[in-house]
């Protein structure tokens, strides 16, 4: 437990240096409401259904519009991330190739259960993320992605620059704030209010609140049954969808140590989960990974962990089999999506950072 409940606390914080300056643009008038993350939560299940069949694109996961950013060139895993400056046009027009690439890590088909057992034990010993009444959960991440861009009859493989995303959420999920360069403008947008149907959003596995996470079972078998039942018919098969759902809970929310440990043990029970000997997250942190191959798309989703502490660092999706995207432009070794968790903490107000 936190010895000082009045002290703002952080978990899994890693300092990796600042990002290049990011050019920001306000959205056109009337678009802010459309881009509220409540809408993204509502279409989250649709993303699950389509993401496995198509490469991640600017409309998947956390972004509706692509970020506008300056050039960034550097190492990503043992591959290369190469991006060029924006041209002042629409955000999607500022993302240009070549794509994010990496060397595909070697797989141990029998090593995942052992590793996940160790990871679950380490997770269970973590400090419980308890905040005071009125505080918000702050999550800071970095991400980038690769996708096929088509203009007229011409298609090309492009990548979005690595960028920082900041969210603040109340524990009940009814209030919050989002700042993401290129998507929200410098000041960000509110996440409060009704969904696009005018109803109060109800948390679920695809869009959980902190309070909702506390209601989930911590028995691995019961938890996995619930995940299978509530995601039935989504994605490319129940096992792949279960793995995707657990990964989203690990990377996009802040489960308690007991629930986190249960999620890892539940993942160990999913057929096809393997160990990958080497992977690097969006912030350049190297580690070992637990992964599963989507046989439909040929893309492997990898959860990346620090090799020493076994702390969760982030997630990436790599094309490892066949080709993907329009015209088969996404070749093996392409990093389709990469995401790193930098900071998770309780803070006292919206737009306050640890």
Give me the average pLDDT of each 10-residue run along the chain (354 residues): 38 38 38 39 39 35 29 30 30 52 94 97 92 96 93 90 94 96 89 88 94 97 98 94 97 96 98 97 97 97 97 97 92 96 97 95
pLDDT of 196 reads 81
CB 216 within 8 A of CB 226: yes
Q: Count of CB atoms within 10 A of residue 107's CB? A: 17
Q: Count of CB atoms within 10 A of residue 42's CB? A: 16
pLDDT of 98 reads 60
- Beta strand 286-294 with 136-151 is unpaired
229/246 Cα distance (integer angstroms): 14
Per DSSP, 110 falls in state T
pLDDT of 3 reads 37
Q: Which two tokens stand for residue 149?
A: 């861009």
User: Angle at CA 245, nearest 5°, toward 207 and 197?
Assistant: 25
Q: Is the link from the previous residue into 178 a cis peptide, with omega within 30 of 0?
A: no
Non-local CB neighbours of 97 within 8 Å, separated by 6+ positions: 82, 156, 157, 158, 159
Per DSSP, 338 falls in state E
pLDDT of 21 reads 36
CB 254 within 8 A of CB 342: no
Find the DSSP H helices in 59-209: 112-124
Q: Count of CB atoms within 10 A of residue 80's CB? A: 14
Collapsing DSSP to helix, strand or coil, 37 comes out as helix
- The helix (run of H) or strand (run of E) holding residue 109 is none
Q: Is 2 exposed, middle or buried (0-12, 13-18, 19+ CB in 10 A)?
A: middle
Q: Count of CB atoms within 10 A of residue 24's CB? A: 17
């Amino acid at each position: 437990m936190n010895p000082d409940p009045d002290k703002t606390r952080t978990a899994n914080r890693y300092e990796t240096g600042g990002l290049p300056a990011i050019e920001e643009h306000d959205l056109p008038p009337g678009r802010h409401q459309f881009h509220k993350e409540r809408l993204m939560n509502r279409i989250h299940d649709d993303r699950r259904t389509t993401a496995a069949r198509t490469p991640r694109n600017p409309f998947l996961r956390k972004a509706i519009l692509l970020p506008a950013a300056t050039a960034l060139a550097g190492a990503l895993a043992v591959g290369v991330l190469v991006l060029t400056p924006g041209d002042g046009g629409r955000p999607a027009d500022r993302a240009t190739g070549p794509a994010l690439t990496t060397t595909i890590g070697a797989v141990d088909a029998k090593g995942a259960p052992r590793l996940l057992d160790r990871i679950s034990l380490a997770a269970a010993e973590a400090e419980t993320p308890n905040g005071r009444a009125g505080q918000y959960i702050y999550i800071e991440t970095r991400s980038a992605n690769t996708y096929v861009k088509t203009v007229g009859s011409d298609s090309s493989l492009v990548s979005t620059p690595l960028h920082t995303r900041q969210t603040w959420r109340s524990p009940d999920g009814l209030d919050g704030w989002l700042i993401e360069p290129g998507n929200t403008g410098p000041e960000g947008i509110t996440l409060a209010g009704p969904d696009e149907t005018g109803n109060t959003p109800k948390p679920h596995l695809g869009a959980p609140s902190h309070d909702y996470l506390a209601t989930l079972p911590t028995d691995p078998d019961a938890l996995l049954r619930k995940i299978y039942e509530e995601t039935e018919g989504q994605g490319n098969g129940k096992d792949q969808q279960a793995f995707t759902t657990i990964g989203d809970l690990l990377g996009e929310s802040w489960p308690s140590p007991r629930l986190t440990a249960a999620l890892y043990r539940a993942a160990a029970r999913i057929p096809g989960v393997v160990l990958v000997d080497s992977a690097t997250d969006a912030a350049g942190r190297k580690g070992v990974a637990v992964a599963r191959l989507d046989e439909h798309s040929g893309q492997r989703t990898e959860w990346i962990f620090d090799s020493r502490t076994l702390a969760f660092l982030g997630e990436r999706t790599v094309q490892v089999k066949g080709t993907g995207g329009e015209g088969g432009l996404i070749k093996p070794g392409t990093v389709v999506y990469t995401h790193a968790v930098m900071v998770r903490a309780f803070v006292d107000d919206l737009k306050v950072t640890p």
